[in-house]
Structures are given as structure tokens and as C-alpha cells.
Structure 1
Amino acid sequence: NDLKGEHEPLFMEEVIAGRPIFSLPSTFYGFRLRYGRSRNTGLASVGVHPAAMKVLKGFVATGTQLRLEKPGKAGVAVPVETIEGPVVKLRDGSVVKVETPELAEKVADKIEEILFLGDVLVGFGEFVENNTPLSPPGFVEEWWREHLRLSLSIKGLPNEGELGIAKERLLSFLNEPLKVKPTPQEALTLSRRLGVPLHPRYTYFWEAISLGELKHLRASLSNAKKEFNGAFAVKLSLPYDEKVKKTLEKLCVPHLVIDGAIAVDEDAPILWACLNPNAPVNELRNISAREAVEKISGFRILPKGGSFVGARMGRPEKAKRREMKPLVHCLFPLSLFGGPQRNLMEAAERNEAISIEVANRKCPSCRETVIYPVCPKCGSRSIVKKSCPSCGRSLNSNQNFCPTCGREAALYRKLTINIKEVVKAACDRLGVAPPNLVKCVKGLSNEGRIPEPIEKGILRAEHGLSVFKDGTTRFDATNAPLSHFKPSEIRAAVERNMNR
């Protein structure tokens, strides 16, 4: 069976209950493997079409860890709009190619079945890093662009009158193949006149159907109601046939079911050109359905499917604040003066001064004892004062041990702080009223026992933030770096970025 390939035996092991499996290993219509990268697939990330994220009801979102069958490692899912989107069947029988998140939102509640999940974009480097052999890719726009480039280099750039396609538009197919795609009529003209394969936008999964199914579909087309605009069919209405309907679904041909008939509109020129019942062909035997389409149509059809990879959810993104337990606003020691909540405001309200174990430093200008590296009065850099933790004797800066009791010198000691004055001064500097609750700590554990400025704690309490034990306000999120950005996205002038 050409729909199944060799799959990785370990992929389905260690599946955790509650974490969905999006596609089984090497199963046709799962995620189609596509090589390449986008600016947001920086490191160990994989691209998924944003419409597929909507169709999968948000189970795959930006930051979700996807465990892929190949290249055999997990990656962060990020949205990429320039890859192939999903194809879905609605409850009314219609088949829709979902190419935008807006359309996905519109049809989300009407979906009966996902016929094709779309592409998953994986960098070539991920395969190299994991020493995984490359799997055959499906036919994509970049590949088609190279066929067109080769044909034009051999035959030369035709005049607009020869193809009916403006020169500028023809060049746009070469310069922006992911953004500018030909119409059905243009795609057929290019295939017939220049000999390039049919554009991947209009290439169906011919390798997914049998030759018998192809013949039955072609026979049904001969009985279809047809509308033409010149040489191109613009509307097809086929008598409803369950077998024909199933074949169109396997091919992922967009169509509607209206009044007991199967209507093909936008893709009518392609379907008719590929299966034209009026085209004289010899008996179709011992060939694949795709090869039969090439014989009937007279132009090349490359395999669209390529390789499909299994995908399951590794783990959802754990995006949350990292907090100490219990929550802390400021790394300032209060000992037992702040009550059970270690509330700075309660300590200042109930006590004029408190005795705490804190940094012992001296301002060289004011000659006063301070607890911060910078003097809060004059801004001078303070100097560490060493002392003995046992006898309390002051030591010189070059003395590491107490000459009296032999204890190692400490950079801190118990000091009496006028907490009420310190809090009032901090609020005055910030220009804010004292908050009701600023949670601090009982004691410090860093070597110098240097506390945080109280202003930081007041601001954190005002804005509902907390501090971690290293003095940072942390938010844990998935690391998904960008390799490129647009200056407009960070509201910066281009000139400013060029000078960096």
C-alpha cells in the first residue's frame, strides 16, 4: 500500500492519558512533512498553519510542545501562514480548503471531519542534528518555482500575448512563490505552454486513489452539467454518487453539495483538465492513478503527498508566574516584626525601630552606618564593615578572622533600623501612599545580607507582582526565539536599528 511508509516504532510509546494524538505514524492525511523554516521557527520549533490550530480546537497553540515521529524529537509549535492549510468536510457535505484563520473560525462549529491536517514545517537542520535520514517531501511552491525558472531560462521570457500573463506577474511567481499563486487558468496555461508541472495549489492527492476510482470519477464527469469560459470549465455539477463523493474527499478537491448534486466551482478548470472525458487516450492499465492523469491531461503531475509524520502533544505550555511560597514582594528582612504575613506596613505601624540581621556598611561621606551599597542620603558608594559574629568586635577590611575568638569575619550584624522613617522616606520618594500590604521575608541568606530597596517592594505590591529568591520578577514561558523581526513590530525606526 503506497499510503503507508516506514514509521518510527518508539513514537507511540510513553503516550500520556489526556494528551491528544493528532496524527498516527506515517499515516496519509496526517501532518505532511515540509522542509523549511520561518523567522519564528528559530530553535527546535516546528511550523503549523494557524488555521490548523483553530481546526484542532486550540489543542495545538503557540508554545504547545509537539512530539513528532520524525526527526524524532519534540519541538515548540508556532504559526506559519505560508504553508499548506487543512482541508475539512462540513456537516452539509461540503469540502473546504481552510487557508486563513478567519475562515477556520467561521467553519469551526460546522466541521464533521478533518480530511487533511496540513503541513508541519521542519528545518533541515533538525534532521541533521538528530542524525535522521531525510524523507521524500511532497510537491510545494518553492519546487514548482524552480521548474518555472528552468523552463524560462531555456525557452526565454515569453511575450504577454503568448501566454496571456503579464511579464510582471510571471516574475512575481518566481520572486514570491509563497505569496503570489497563479489562478487555475494561469496554472493550466503554464503547464501546457511551458511544460512545467501543475502548480501544487491545484495538485490533488492522486496517489491516494486507485485507478478504478479514477475511472469511475472520470465517467461521472462525462455526465456532469458543465459551464465553460473559452477553453476552461468554470462550473461543474456532478450527479450525486457516494463513490464519487468519497473519491473527491480522498483527493481533497473543494466542492459543495447542493440539491442532490456535487458542485465544483473554483477548481472546475483543474478537475476538468485533469480528467477530461473527451480526451482521446489509450486503455489505462497497470499504471497508478497519478500516471493516468498525466496521460489524460498531457502535462506533468508530481506527487503532492510526499511523507506524512505522526504528531502528538508532548506537553502544554506551562506559562505562569514563578513565585516564592509564600508570596514575597520585597527581599527585606523583618524577623518576627511583620506578623504572620511578614507585612512591612504592619512592622512600621507597630514599631518605631526594629532589630534585624542585615548588611553592615558605612558611608565614607556621611560617616553613617547604612545597609545598602549606595548611601540613600548622599549617593556615595558605601564601604563594607567586617565584624565578629560572636563577640561583635569590629574588624579591618583585611581581617578575615577575629583575633579574639577566631571566628570567621561576617559582612553583617544585628542593626537597629528606624523602620517607620525608612518606609515613609521610600513612599515620599515614589510619590505614592503607603499600601496596605507589602510582604517581606524573615531573614536573608545571601553572603552579605544586602536587602532590596523598600521602593521595589512597594511598587511590586502596587502592581500585583512578586519577587523570586534571586531578586528577579519571573514569568516562565516557552523559549521560542525569532531569527528575524520587522522594526515596525517593536515600534522602532529602521535607521535606529541599522545603527545598532
Structure 2
Amino acid sequence: SDVEDAKKIKDEVLEIVDLGEILIPFGEFIENNALLSDASYVYEWWIQELQGKLKCLPSKNDGDAIAKSEETVSKIVEKDFGREIDLQKPDPEDAFALSEHYGVPLHPYYNLFWHDLSREDVEQLAVFLLENGEVHGDKELMLRIPRDKQVKDTLVELGVLHKERGGRIIIDGYAYPLIRGCGLDVENGKLVETPRFSVFKESLDDERVDATELVSRLSGVTIRKRSPSRIGARMGRPEKASPRKMRPPPHVLFPVGNFGGNQRLIRVAAEKETIQVEAGVRRCNVCGKTTFKVTCDCGAHTVSTGKIMMQDINLRKELNDAQKRIGTIMQLPDKIKGVIGTISRDKTPEPLEKGILRAQHEVYVFKDGTIRFDMTDAPLTHFKPCEIGVKVDTLRKLGYLHDWRGQPLEKEDQLCELKVQDVVVSKTCAEYLMRVSRFVDDLLEKFYGIG
């Protein structure tokens, strides 16, 4: 696997020079009121330029129309060239032939980071290749040059994949794009100047001509910037996704002061039978009794008087009554954690029943009475079933019947568009949310009497 391969070579890696691309949805720019950055030139952009030239752009933005348009383009190209050409990954020579024939930019598969070089860098590289370069092969061109530190650094900047053998640098896949980008070509197995090589002198004093424009003139085709925008980013760490807890994490916002020990344990505090804690005073409008509880002993709802005072609470009795009200016959959880004191305006304690149920389901309450789970919000528009560990049959039951191209969903490696109502979460999150859902079920049924 890729992970195993990476582990094998990790000690041989000296430097990581490129981290690849990241897809940022348009909505992220809107939400953060940020200027929309220039996008890199990719296949989806290139193929639409070609479709525009051939007047066969998709009639609408859906999988069937896009697939039909690409099929039409392939047939036209095959007819014009007398053979089939892989439009997603053409040969280097075919990539230039397509650009020259249809007047479209060079295929992004052979785009290099020319915009990271200065015009002087391009000229020095071109001269070095012309004087020292050796070409081999016909169908699959290979370029050999002596190892030179400055040239090596330039190739790394350009993103030109290469090997080093016996003091020489060997370039294969990017050989032809590199040669053409330097205003050179291959004739009779040798590198030669093209008439375009004179562009170096013609544009020497023209500051408006940057490296990308210079290379476009040298190569004879339009070169688009491969990476016009760069950002710093930190990868979200799924293993760090976890429930958001207070310290120590309570099961119920019920004050026990220092009677519950360092962990604010309800059962430890209940051993004292009666505890004195600060709580809000509430009054029942039915029987007129004052209490700290939301529900009066007579069953009516109480209202806050706005007063806060130290109150004596028979915690042992309250805990036993709470256990009976929710019908919990089994032994109470050993650790039902409360808080030293509440911080709400009225300082009304939560019902102990909620704490018992949370402890049973191993979920925790935050200071505002919510149950929370923290995780990184990573933009995601598409996914493959094999990437998220969900079987195709399960996805079909959830409504994912087709992939992004409109083809029936049958395989785990098909790409699907994520529906707007769905999110992909970590297994840790899923397990915790399942516990939360079971807690809510019990709460509605046993505490609120619903169901």
C-alpha cells in the first residue's frame, strides 16, 4: 500500500518540495469575506476550453451532459488526428499537438511551475540544456544532462520529476515539455534552437513579460500558471476528534460544593445526606412551596423568584427519588459527576435524572447544558465508498444510487457527490453520537414520558 511504501522510504527523504493541491469550496470565501484566489489550471478547465473551441460544451451541468460532451470531443479529436488520443493523459508530443491544432493552452498534465522562476533562470536553463543536453529514444523521449547544483535546484522548483545516475540527471516524462519550454526542439536526435529562441533577446528589456509569458512564447503554445495561489494549511487530525468536556467532566449541572470530593461525585456527596449549596429559589404557583427544583413535589412547574441563597438539600433522598422516577431498578452508576456550583443567572440545578441517564450512557454535559463533540470542519464535496468505509449497499439505502457521472453506483471506487444533508464523521464521533442518541431516547421516554 501507499502507507507501507512511505514507511520504507521515509529515512531516505531529504526534503518535501511540494504538498500538492487543495480544493477550497467557493462558500468558504463567501463565509470569510475573502477575495477569490486564482485557481490552478486543471483538466476540468482545459477540457472546457477545448470543448469551447469545438463548440460542444455540455448543455447543462450534470454527469450525463458532461460525459456526452467529453465523448463528442474524443470523437472529433480522433477524426482530426486519425487516431485515438487519451485526453486526460496524452503523450507529451500529443499534448503540444492538441494545443497547436486547436489553439488551446498546454494540457495541465505537463504544466510546470514556470511562474516560480525568473526570466534569467529560464534563459540559464535553456542555454545549459542546449550545450549539455543529450536526448535518447523516439517515442518515449529521455533527456540526460550533467549534474549541476543550480540546474538541479531549478528542476526542483519547476516540479520536473527526474533521477540521478552516475553523476547525470535523467528526465523522461517531462523531457519534451521542458525542451519546448526552453525554446528548443529535437532534430535528428539532437537538441536544436527553434526560431522562437530569439524571444530571449526580444523580451530582455520588457518588464511586462514574466516567466510564464516568456515560456509561452518560447514553446509556441499558451502556458497557464500551474499554481498561481499558495496557502499555508494545517491538516485536520481525525484521531484528535473528541467529546468536548469540562474539567473534570460532569454528567449533570447539579451543585455539590466540596461535598463530592475532587471529582464532584454525586454518590459521595449523598453519603452526607444533607448538603448546603448555593442555588436559586423557585416557587410553585400551585401549592406556593419554595424549592430549588424545576418541578415541585406536587408535580407543577416552578418559576424563579430571582433570589439566590444557600440551601439545605437532602441529596440522598433526591437521588433515590430521581432513580425511582426514571424507573432505574439496576444499581446506579458508580460515578455520577456534578459540579461545585452552577454559573447560570438563576442558578437552577439540573434534574438528577439527567445525570443518571448521562452516566449510564457515558456522555457528558457542557457548561451550557449541551452535549458537544469537537472535530475539524474539512470541506468535502465528493467521496468514494472505499474511502469512508461504507458498503455500496448501505449507501444505496441512503439514497446514493448513482455516481457523479450518473452511472449506477455498483463499485466501492466510484466517485459520489456528497448530498447536502450528509456529513462524513470519524468513527469516534459516530460512536459518541450513538451514545448520545440512546441517552436522548431514554430521556424522552423515562424523564419526559414521551414514547
Identify the match of residue 384 of structure 1 among 302, 309, 314. 302
User: For each residue in 1:356-377, what CA deviation from the matched residue of structure 2 results, as whole angstroms up to 9, or x when unmatched?
Assistant: 757656698x99999755689x
Q: Following TM superposition, by how much is the alpha carbon of 1:253 offset from its aligned partner in structure 2, in angstroms?
A: 1.1
Within a 5 Å distance, the mapping from 1:476-487 to structure 2 comes to: 476=374, 480=377, 482=379
Q: 2:185 matched to 1:276? A: yes
User: For each residue in 1:386-423, what CA deviation from the matched residue of structure 2 results, as whole angstroms up to 9, or x when unmatched?
Assistant: 8xxxxxxxxxxxxx8xxxxxxx7889975656146236
Unaligned runs of 5+ in 1: 1-99, 171-179, 387-399, 401-407
AA aligned to 1:113 is E
AA aligned to 1:286 is K
Distance in 2, matches of 1:374 and 1:499, equals: 37
Q: Following TM superposition, by how much is the alpha carbon of 1:254 offset from its aligned partner in structure 2, in angstroms?
A: 0.6
Q: 2:354 matched to 1:456? A: yes
Q: Following TM superposition, by how much is the alpha carbon of 1:228 offset from its aligned partner in structure 2, in angstroms?
A: 1.8
Identify the match of residue 213 of structure 1 among 125, 130, 144. 125
Identify the match of residue 252 of structure 2 among 316, 330, 342. 330
CA contact (8 A) 2:280 2:308 kept: no
- Could you tell me the TM-score, scaled by structure 2's length? 0.58
Greater alpha carbon shift after TM alignment, 273-282 vs 342-351? 273-282
Distance in 2, matches of 1:123 and 1:472, equals: 30
Q: Following TM superposition, by how much is the alpha carbon of 1:471 offset from its aligned partner in structure 2, in angstroms?
A: 1.6
User: For each residue in 1:417-463, what CA deviation from the matched residue of structure 2 results, as whole angstroms up to 9, or x when unmatched?
Assistant: 6146236537x835653333323235545466543232432354456
Q: What's the counterpart of residue 266 of structure 2?
A: 344
Identify the match of residue 425 of structure 1 among 303, 320, 324. 324
CA 1:242–1:159: 2 relative to 1, 3 Å:
closer
Q: Following TM superposition, by how much is the alpha carbon of 1:217 offset from its aligned partner in structure 2, in angstroms?
A: 1.0
AA aligned to 1:457 is G
SS at match of 1:304: coil
Q: 2:170 matched to 1:263? A: yes
- Could you tell me the TM-score, scaled by structure 1's length? 0.53
CA contact (8 A) 2:216 2:223 kept: no
Identify the match of residue 76 of structure 2 among 150, 158, 169. 158
Structure having the higher helix fraction is 2
Identify the match of residue 493 of structure 1 among 395, 398, 413. 398
CA 1:218–1:374: 2 relative to 1, 3 Å:
farther
Q: Following TM superposition, by how much is the alpha carbon of 1:257 offset from its aligned partner in structure 2, in angstroms?
A: 0.8
CA contact (8 A) 1:348 1:423 kept: no
SS at match of 1:470: coil
CA 1:142–1:382: 2 relative to 1, 3 Å:
same
Q: Following TM superposition, by how much is the alpha carbon of 1:302 offset from its aligned partner in structure 2, in angstroms?
A: 1.6
CA 1:247–1:164: 2 relative to 1, 3 Å:
farther
Q: Following TM superposition, by how much is the alpha carbon of 1:213 offset from its aligned partner in structure 2, in angstroms?
A: 2.3
SS at match of 1:210: helix
Q: Following TM superposition, by how much is the alpha carbon of 1:190 offset from its aligned partner in structure 2, in angstroms?
A: 1.4
Identify the match of residue 137 of structure 2 among 201, 221, 227. 227
Distance in 1, matches of 2:230 and 2:319, equals: 65
CA 1:267–1:132: 2 relative to 1, 3 Å:
same
CA contact (8 A) 2:342 2:349 kept: yes
CA 1:303–1:354: 2 relative to 1, 3 Å:
closer
Distance in 2, matches of 1:115 and 1:291, equals: 24
User: For each residue in 1:45-91, what CA deviation from the matched residue of structure 2 results, as whole angstroms up to 9, or x when unmatched?
Assistant: xxxxxxxxxxxxxxxxxxxxxxxxxxxxxxxxxxxxxxxxxxxxxxx
CA 1:249–1:358: 2 relative to 1, 3 Å:
closer
Q: What's the counterpart of residue 208 of structure 2?
A: none
Distance in 1, matches of 2:227 and 2:177, equals: 21
Identify the match of residue 159 of structure 2 among 224, 230, 252. 252
Structure having the higher strand fraction is 1
Distance in 1, matches of 2:364 and 2:186, equals: 72
Number of aligned residue pairs: give it. Answer: 357
Q: Following TM superposition, by how much is the alpha carbon of 1:342 offset from its aligned partner in structure 2, in angstroms?
A: 3.6
CA 1:234–1:468: 2 relative to 1, 3 Å:
same
CA contact (8 A) 2:38 2:229 kept: no
Q: Following TM superposition, by how much is the alpha carbon of 1:262 offset from its aligned partner in structure 2, in angstroms?
A: 2.0
Within a 5 Å distance, the mapping from 1:157-196 to structure 2 comes to: 158=76, 160-163=78-81, 166=84, 180-196=88-104
CA 1:219–1:146: 2 relative to 1, 3 Å:
farther
User: For each residue in 1:103-158, what CA deviation from the matched residue of structure 2 results, as whole angstroms up to 9, or x when unmatched?
Assistant: 77765543323444545666778888999887776644454334312321299862
Unaligned runs of 5+ in 2: 57-71, 204-210, 402-418, 423-451
- Higher relative contact order, chain-length normalized (CA < 8 Å, sep 6+): 1
Distance in 2, matches of 1:228 and 1:410, equals: 90
SS at match of 1:263: strand
Q: What's the counterpart of residue 56 of structure 1?
A: none
CA contact (8 A) 2:319 2:352 kept: no
Distance in 1, matches of 2:382 and 2:296, equals: 42
Q: What's the counterpart of residue 41 of structure 1?
A: none
Distance in 2, matches of 1:442 and 1:246, equals: 62
SS at match of 2:320: helix
Q: Following TM superposition, by how much is the alpha carbon of 1:214 offset from its aligned partner in structure 2, in angstroms?
A: 0.7
CA 1:361–1:163: 2 relative to 1, 3 Å:
farther
AA aligned to 2:177 is I
CA 1:310–1:195: 2 relative to 1, 3 Å:
closer
